[in-house]
Amino acid sequence: MSKVYIKYEEYKFPPLLKMIIHGAIHYRQDRATFQRYRESINTAANVAGILYPIDYPIDVEVVFIDPTSPDIANCIMALYRAMDGKALKGKSLLTDDGLISKVSAMKFYPSERGRAENRVP
């Protein structure tokens, strides 16, 4: 499962949510996988001391390390779905993914595997 690390800079305007996600899932996963992804995000938010669900506009910076898809857009869409309060079950990081005003994302492959080997069939 994905490992998630979060740092929240709540005193910036708008507040900035910085995330590092190892093994991020892609958008075409089953519901149970999304639920586990959400739980990983919530655990990281608890460790970071974030009071959530967040109900105001925020900016997001995310680094995907060894994502399961080479398509960064699919990883971003999966992240939005996992953080959205209107999707899945249980508590979520955001009340609505529409509160994300800006997203900055990058992917990084530290392993020896090539990008073709990281593709999901």
**pLDDT above 90: residue 114:** no
**pLDDT above 80: residue 118:** no
**pLDDT above 70: residue 120:** no
How do residues 44-60 score in pLDDT, each as one tens digit? 999 999 999 999 999 99
Query: What contacts 114, CB < 8 A, 6 or more positions away?
Result: none
- Domain count for the chain, please give it: 1
Model confidence, pTM: 0.88
Which of these, 74, 89, 4, lies nearest to 41 by C-alpha position?
4
Give 23: exposed, middle or buried? Use CB within 10 Å, 0-12, 13-18, 19+: middle
Q: Which range of residues forms the domain containing residue 79? A: 3-118
